[in-house]
Amino acid sequence: MALPQRQTDIGPPKYDQFLPPIIKKNYGKWKYHEVLTPGTMVHVAESGDKLYTVRVGSPRLLSTETIREICDLAEKYCDGYLRFTTRNNVEFLVSDKSKMDPLLAELKVKKYSVGGIGPRVSNVIHTQGWVHCHSACTDASGLVKAMMDELYDYFTTKELPNKVRLAVACCVNMCGAVHCSDIAIVAVHRKVPTINDEMVTKTCEIPTTIASCPTSAIRPNPAKKSVTINEEKCMYCGNCFTVCPPIDIHNPEEDGVAIVVGGKIGSLRTDPKFSKLAIPFFYNEPPRWPKVVAAIKNILETYAKHAKKHERVGEWIERIGWERFFKLTGIPFTFQHIDDFTFARDTFRTSAAFKY
């Protein structure tokens, strides 16, 4: 079968051809919106037109079969129009109000998870993990599934003080936005990489490899035409592995995940914030990482119990102080919590005022 003629540098198709007529008509002229249920909202245009949205949770990793199923629904209820959100949920764009109930009914039958709108948990930003990435030291998809099963009600029904953005990074490259999430998991190594000297000699550029180490832990090993690593200095970032794979950072027995909390993105009320370390380590416990999931639930529910309305996790913690966060959650404070890298100076407490 002959292939069609390839084209280059055409970029993506122009967005306007995918916009439903109601959006084309009211483009940029929306007046307000209302959240109707945890999974539905309506946007009202200046013209008075109303666009209904139904949001459905997605595992992000989708088979073509499921995509076709979703397309069927879109055609049935939305004239074929749908979109995905920046957190990988599916949104059905319903122009005709009368189609809402039937759509929701069919979604229910088909066991779709409707929710994620408003002050609650939405989908978990995550990346490849063991599914596809050589760099992974945990599986992102599995952690997400285990977490979301446990927090399911917070997606579909329960309200929280504000949105809680969850994320999982399967290594410190952090391909999601873990570094600014309300509660997130990041996979970490804890052991100095092992070096396959022969392969290093063959496949790596020694000076680049040495330069890749942020703590200058790597020194040349001229005898073996390879490198050595100073154990004292290595903080297991894996950057050497990225530039020179025979330096293997993986250690299935001692790899695992950390939990970070208190980040945010939006500038509402308080500046965007980085997430900070809450729990430095859990062993990988596939398939369902029960301890990790329990720890996240504990943090989420402590927040839900103590925060004021509209306060994000980080805003709540900053109001009460980190010392109080550790007390309320019962999380032990360890040496790992104290920064000894780039930001150390800013994180040490420089005040006589703190809570016991």
Partner 1 sequence: MSGKYKTPMLDELEKGPWPSFVTEIKKAAKKSPMADDELGQLEKSYVTKRGYWKHGGIVGVLGYGGGVIGRYSSLPEEFPGVAHFHTIRINQTSGFFYTAKALREICDIWDKYGSGLTNLHGSTGDLVLLGTKTQNLEAIFAEYSSRGWDLGGSGSAMRTPSCCVGPGRCEWSNYDTLDLTYNLTQEFQDELHRPAYPYKFKIKASGCACDCVASIARADLSIIGTWKGDIQIDQTEVKKYADSGMNIKAEIIDMCPTNCMAYDGKTLRIDNAECNRCMHCIAKMTKALRPGKERGATILVGSKAPIVVGSLLSWVIVPFIKVEPPYTELKNLIRKMIEWWDDNAKPRERIGELIETKGMRPFLEAIGVPPQPQQVKEPRKDPFFFWSESDFKK
> Interaction with a copy of itself in 328-347: which residues (CB under 8 A)?
342-343, 345-346
| Closer Cβ to a copy of itself, 109 or 353, answer by number | 353
Length of the chain: 356
d(CA 91, CA 103): 12
Cβ atoms of residues 230 and 217 within 8 Å: yes
Please report, as ranges, the residues that interact with ligand SRM according to CB under 6 A.
33, 85-87, 89, 116-118, 122-123, 125, 127-128, 132-133, 135, 162-163, 165, 173-175, 177, 242, 264-266, 268, 312
User: If residue 153 lies in a helix (H) or strand (E), which one and from where to where?
Assistant: helix 152-156
User: How far apart are CB 111 and ligand SF4 at their closest, in Å?
Assistant: 28
d(CA 146, CA 286): 10
Q: What angle do CA 221, 226, 228 make, to 5 degrees?
A: 55
Residue 312 binds which one of ligand SRM, partner 1, a copy of itself, none, with CB within 5 to 8 A depending on kind?
ligand SRM
Q: Which of 17, 307, 338, 337 is nearest to 162 (CA)?
A: 307
Residue spans of beta strands (DSSP E) within 206-343: 218-221, 226-229, 247-248, 256-261, 276-283
User: How far apart are CB 78 and partner 1 at their closest, in Å?
Assistant: 8
Is 305 a binding residue for partner 1 by CB under 8 A? The answer is no
Residue 51 binds which one of partner 1, ligand SRM, ligand SF4, none, with CB within 5 to 8 A depending on kind?
partner 1
> Interaction with a copy of itself in 265-284: which residues (CB under 8 A)?
267-268, 271-272
**How distant, in Å, are the alpha carbons of 23, 49, 69, 75, 77 from that of 20?**
5, 13, 20, 12, 12
> Interaction with partner 1 in 39-98: which residues (CB under 8 A)?
43, 51, 53, 57-68, 70-72, 74-75, 80-86, 88, 90, 93
Q: Exactly one of 117, 129, 247, 303 binds partner 1 (CB under 8 A); which one? A: 129
Is 86 a binding residue for a copy of itself by CB under 8 A? The answer is no
Q: Pseudo-torsion of CA 210, 211, 215, 221, nearest 10°? A: 10
Which positions lie near a copy of itself, rule CB under 8 A?
267-268, 271-272, 342-343, 345-346, 350-353
Binding site for ligand SF4 (CB under 6 A): 127-129, 133, 135-136, 169-171, 173-175, 193, 212-213, 215, 217-218, 229, 234-240, 249
